[in-house]
């Protein structure tokens, strides 16, 4: 079956960079269609079962050169449905570096402020109180306090959090204000049409401007093609994520003479797990809530550029990230209720790229530079020190072949390891940036500071792919605010005209 629609603006992707744009453009009076490759899974369908929900809500990819894993949401609401609800304002140092290094003079704190406020309010970013700091977060707090390190409870976008510990599985109580339960219904209330299981394949360009988006309708069960959809519009906002956005633009034959696909950057992450003599029950309560900021290099900190953040010990993700096999792995997993865990969130210096393979699917290259590997080693050491200071009896480092650490002296073993991605039990990222970035120059980006593609009228990039670098702090609010900022420019330029034609053939 082949269908066609016509509207004012097509938004491709419904995550942090897509759904706010749909809401803002619909509010401005534009007729909006959102194409989302993933299924629409509502709160009532979030079963809380790890295997089922991860498979239904998420997608995994890996870098061809380093094997580094990247995870993202693949459903209506995108990664916000599976994320940990942590919220930070855009760090001022990051906005300053975008102005200085990418010529984005308009990206001031003042320009961002109304959009940050709107994002903050819409998703109800709020301080995390004691009732929502579980013992897992508490161990990080205790260790940091004993070492005199700066640390804080993070803001979370929740309302009435029931402490279930299932934030990565969609939040079955509906407390987490993901895009699925905030921006998407806001957009729909203003007339936007959200089409799930519609994968954008190609953007049609004619006479130097966008004309339409061609998409494939997917079967909800098999994800195999079941039809075609063409949506005609004078504006196309691409928000398919850091892998999906460059891939769609490259499949469309766009970006010649620009940095499309280049400049991709992550927050690289590894886990450190610690065993305590008393139960921690780290699988209950918010999946993430507390951060050690001592080593950060944003928000006024002058460290080497990493944060240490408490993270759930949900069974399958803990098992799959612990080093080792067989009886030793089983011994650690048997102690699950006694385990605390935290994740290193590194502000990478590495830059990678996204190309497309023969099938047009994203092909990621990301080879961590030596400086980043050295900083990961340092972060792992500091986190292990913290857990020992907090009273851990054993600390499990994310490095294959290293014995559990029981004292600071044992950490010397780390220095003997050739620190490279494949030596680590799991090196991954969920904070992805760039690939179709804003910049004043084609050599550095794909679009200008309004998100407008350099060479195609009516084409915008509004998601994390538009950000010229990583942010040094969990990025969803920065992505939403930037998307709203770009949407405000689109709405102003189009004057809120509407076209109501819908046709099918
Ligand atoms: C497990 C996890 C935990 C995280 N925790 C936090 C956190 O606590 N705080 C925080 O600030 N950030 C967190 N993040 C990161 C944050 O959620 C993302 O940075 C943000 O959602 C990215 O926004 P985006 O719009 O670029 O992409 P996404 O939100 O991933 O949305 C992209 C959407 O595009 C769709 N898509 C892809 N290709 C196509 C196509 N061809 N056609 C149509 N649709 C397509 C995808 O299915 C997806 O729904 C987390 C991420 C993950 C995965
Ligand atoms: S801990 Fe709170 S936010 Fe997370 S899934 Fe449970 S109710 Fe939702």
> For a pLDDT cut of 90, what percent of the chain falls above it?
94
What local confidence, expressed as pLDDT, does residue 13 receive? 98
Q: Is 71 close to ligand 1, i.e. is its CB under 6 Å away?
A: yes
Question: Rounded CA gap, 463 and 144, in Å?
Answer: 34
Q: Is 267 close to ligand 1, i.e. is its CB under 6 Å away?
A: no
Q: Is 431 close to ligand 1, i.e. is its CB under 6 Å away?
A: yes
Q: Which domain holds residue 147?
A: 1-505
For residue 486, CA distances in Å to 17, 237, 483 come to: 10, 9, 5
Q: Is 16 close to ligand 1, i.e. is its CB under 6 Å away?
A: yes
Q: Is 59 close to ligand 1, i.e. is its CB under 6 Å away?
A: no
Contact 178, 78 (CB under 8 A): no
Q: What's the 284 CA to ligand 2 centre distance in angstroms?
A: 9
Query: 89 catalytic, yes or no?
Result: no
pTM of the model: 0.97
- For the chain, the domain total comes to 1
Angle at 459 between CA 458 and CA 460, to 5 degrees: 120
* Beta-carbon contacts of residue 493 (< 8 Å; ≥ 6 apart): none
Q: What's the 393 CA to ligand 1 centre distance in angstroms?
A: 37
The pLDDT tens digits of the residues spanning 37-81 come to: 999 999 999 999 999 999 999 999 999 999 999 999 999 999 999
For residues 380-411, one letter each, b for 16 or more C-beta atoms within 10 angstroms of the residue's C-beta and e for the rest, the string is bbbbbbbbbbbebebbbbbbeebebbeeeebb
pLDDT over 50 (residue 499): no
Would you say how long the chain is, in residues?
505
Q: What's the 167 CA to ligand 2 centre distance in angstroms?
A: 5
Contact 409, 385 (CB under 8 A): no
Rama region for 364: left / alpha / beta (φ>0; ψ in -120 to 50; rest): beta
The pLDDT tens digits of the residues spanning 86-124 come to: 999 999 999 999 999 999 999 999 999 999 999 999 999
CATH assignment of the domain containing 271? 3.50.50.60
pLDDT over 70 (residue 505): no
Q: How many other C-beta atoms can be found within 10 angstroms of the C-beta atom of residue 277?
A: 8
Among residues 89, 132, 138, 431, the one annotated as catalytic is 431
* Beta-carbon contacts of residue 183 (< 8 Å; ≥ 6 apart): 19, 20, 22, 23, 122, 480
- Best residue among 14, 77, 81, 83 to mutate for probing ligand 1's pocket (most ligand atoms within 8 Å of CB) is 83
Question: Rounded CA gap, 266 and 428, in Å?
Answer: 9
* Ligand with an atom nearest the CA of residue 172: 2
pLDDT over 80 (residue 260): yes
Q: What's the 400 CA to ligand 2 centre distance in angstroms?
A: 32
In eight-state DSSP terms, residue 168 is G
* Ligand with an atom nearest the CA of residue 176: 2
Q: What's the 357 CA to ligand 1 centre distance in angstroms?
A: 22
Which of ligand 2's atoms lies nearest the C-alpha of 161?
2
């Amino acid at each position: 079956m082949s269908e066609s629609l016509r509207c004012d603006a097509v938004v491709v992707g419904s995550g942090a960079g897509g759904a706010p744009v749909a809401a803002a453009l619909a509010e401005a009076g534009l007729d909006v269609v959102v194409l989302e490759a993933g299924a629409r899974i509502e709160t009532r369908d979030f079963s809380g079962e790890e295997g089922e929900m991860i498979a239904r809500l998420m997608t995994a990819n890996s870098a061809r050169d380093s094997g580094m894993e990247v995870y993202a949401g693949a459903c209506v609401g995108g990664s916000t449905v599976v994320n940990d609800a942590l919220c930070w304002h855009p760090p001022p140092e990051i906005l300053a570096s975008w102005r200085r290094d990418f010529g984005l003079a308009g990206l001031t704190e003042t320009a961002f402020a109304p959009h940050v406020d709107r994002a903050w309010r819409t998703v109800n970013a709020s301080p995390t109180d004691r009732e929502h700091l579980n013992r897992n977060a508490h161990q990080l707090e205790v260790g940091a306090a004993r070492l005199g390190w700066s640390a804080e409870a993070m803001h979370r976008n929740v309302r009435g959090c029931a402490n279930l510990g299932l934030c990565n599985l969609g939040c079955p109580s509906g407390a987490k204000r993901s895009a699925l339960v905030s921006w998407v219904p806001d957009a729909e209330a203003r007339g936007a049409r959200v089409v799930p299981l519609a994968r954008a394949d190609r953007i049609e360009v004619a006479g130097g401007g966008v004309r339409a988006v061609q998409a494939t309708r997917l079967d909800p069960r098999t994800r195999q093609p079941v039809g075609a959809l063409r949506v005609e519009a004078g504006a196309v906002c691409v928000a398919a994520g850091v892998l999906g956005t460059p891939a769609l633009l490259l499949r469309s034959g766009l970006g010649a003479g620009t940095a499309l696909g280049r400049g991709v950057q992550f927050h690289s992450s590894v886990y450190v797990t610690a065993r305590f003599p008393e139960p921690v029950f780290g699988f209950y309560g918010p999946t993430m809530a507390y951060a050690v900021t001592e080593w950060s290099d944003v928000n006024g900190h002058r460290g080497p550029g990493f944060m240490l953040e408490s993270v759930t010990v949900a069974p399958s993700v803990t098992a799959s990230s612990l080093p080792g096999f067989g009886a030793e792995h089983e011994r650690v997993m048997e102690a699950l209720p006694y385990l605390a865990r935290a994740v290193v969130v590194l502000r990478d210096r590495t830059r990678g790229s996204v190309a497309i393979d023969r099938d047009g699917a994203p092909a990621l290259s990301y080879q961590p530079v030596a400086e980043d590997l050295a900083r990961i080693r340092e972060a792992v050491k500091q986190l292990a020190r913290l857990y020992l200071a907090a009273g851990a009896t054993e600390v499990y480092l994310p490095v294959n072949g290293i014995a559990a650490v029981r004292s600071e002296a044992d950490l010397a073993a780390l220095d003997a390891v050739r620190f490279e991605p494949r030596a680590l039990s799991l090196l991954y990222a969920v904070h992805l940036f760039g690939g179709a970035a804003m910049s004043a120059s084609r050599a550095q980006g794909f679009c200008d500071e309004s998100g407008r593609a350099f060479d195609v009228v009516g084409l915008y990039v509004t998601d994390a792919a538009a950000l010229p670098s990583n942010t040094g702090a969990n990025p969803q609010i920065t992505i939403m605010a930037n998307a709203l900022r770009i949407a405000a420019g689109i709405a102003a330029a189009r004057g809120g005209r509407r076209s109501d034609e819908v046709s099918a053939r």
